[in-house]
Chains A and B, each alone.
Chain A
């Protein structure tokens, strides 16, 4: 009886509210679409548009065809230096930072580790620090004459290194900051992956007499495949967008040896006010990142089936 009443009431209410019901969800999601259109979609189209113009700030845009891109791709050694540096950052992140993060996650997940909560806090704290602040701290530690690192090397009997002034070394110095700030974040993803592996798998393997090494290679690693894929994608997209660390450590120097593509875009667009040319760099970045995202989508879809 009561439920019948309730149902009748619901029906009446639903009819009365039909209009509101129909429009409510559109109303709820509209802020995103309004903000997205004004501040992201239209600017993106605008960026693609002006990449075909020669436009220096305050001047009048002049149609330039594909010449911005031609110059960028064939006649701009600084851009290619920046691309090379950025590829270096991406490769080093993929093959040094990510494996170290996996190792870190394995260690922090181990039941044989004492003070696990404490060590997790120590290793994860760098994630929340400001890159600007940390890069300045590293600048002091890397200082050629008085820096802690060189003092330590000399105390151990080595030769001091010009961490930020040597063209061959500077990219490794940038990676030092990246390593310090990013391993913790990636380790969190790996840790989540590790904790989602059911214990029964390990128990069953132990009953079957598998050694620890066998369990690692036949259970842990294969189970982590989706996480590894995810980490590989965010690491490559993140490294392609690197800006803060080399900007604050070296401003891209010496002689552009640590300059990243985003730094180059910033210099051309915001410092030199070459809007058209800088937008061509932006379009280049977009194409690379979009392609990577599509590959990611493919891989994930493939992984599910």
Chain B
């Protein structure tokens, strides 16, 4: 029973129209944000809105760096995201390798403990971890955003899943050549893990770059804030009567989101494979 041709054509048209309409709605906030960041306040709120600004201005971007320590926030966010990602790559791949390629006493229960640790919601430890950071003197310091998060269980799981599929013969060969166990990991296994390392790097970087609750809790000084925290504080610090920094906040939002979206377009494949491997499989 083949469907009539006309109804199939109608379906195709509806499908394409629907996707296009939804796509415009999805893209609209981003387009509006970029466009507003180059406009003055009266044009931002003009209706119908102009996509290409009539009076193009860079004033919003300049204000970011003169009225707020935006450059400092950018460096903070970038440094934390890069450092946490490097640490995560090292510790998760090492532990994933340990779980995947060695038979040792307690392996199964230790692996289960690691997996079940993901059931602890971060909110449960928000207060104690905040107290601990204060006692250690780590508040307002990168350490509070990096050290506790260097070896995430889900990352180790993702690595283990991948490493299990790698051949063990190479390890044996390296052992015969007299390589140390760490040397086998570093020189033999790590180069084979590039795809999964890429996926993990993207997930880690994004998680750190976009995270809000924890940096909001521990980064209290104006100069130690990360981008999301600093950006929100820009909006909150409006005193009555002063002009709300609408344009400047759109410039900030643009600088936070657009580089990430551009990189995403290039590495989409790794990102998606990482997400689905960590999630759906097993």
Contact = CB atoms under 8 A, between A and B. Distances in A.
Interface stretch (A32-40, A65-73, A75-83, A162-170): A32-40
Given A50-B128, A119-B19, A130-B209, A136 B253 contact: yes
Contact of B16 (A32, A35, A114, A155): A114
Of the listed residues B48, B128, B182, B185, the one surrounded by the most CB atoms of chain A closer than 10 A to its CB is B128
B33 A279 contact: no
A133 B253 contact: yes
Interface residues of A, number: 101
A32 B104 contact: no
Nearest to B235: A136
B16 A113 contact: yes
B48 A155 contact: yes
Of the listed residues A10, A188, A275, the one surrounded by the most CB atoms of chain B closer than 10 A to its CB is A188
Given A28-B97, A113-B15, A129 B261 contact: yes
Contacts, number: 278
Given A13-B176, A293-B119, A137 B32 contact: yes
B214 to A, nearest CB: 10
Contacts of A210: 1
B176 A122 contact: no
B281 to A, nearest CB: 9
A197 to B, nearest CB: 13
25 contacts: A10-B176, A17-B181, A28-B94, A29-B156, A47-B128, A107-B15, A110-B15, A113-B15, A119-B20, A123-B23, A124-B272, A125-B30, A128-B260, A128-B261, A129-B260, A131-B212, A136-B232, A136-B249, A188-B272, A189-B276, A192-B272, A192-B280, A211-B3, A243-B212, A266-B217
Given A114-B16, A122-B27, A270-B217, 10 more contacts: A29-B114, A32-B114, A46-B128, A47-B124, A125-B261, A128-B257, A151-B47, A211-B1, A237-B121, A243-B213
Closest 10 A-B residue pairs measured CB to CB?
Answer: A28-B98, A132-B228, A146-B45, A43-B128, A25-B102, A24-B181, A39-B148, A133-B253, A151-B47, A43-B125
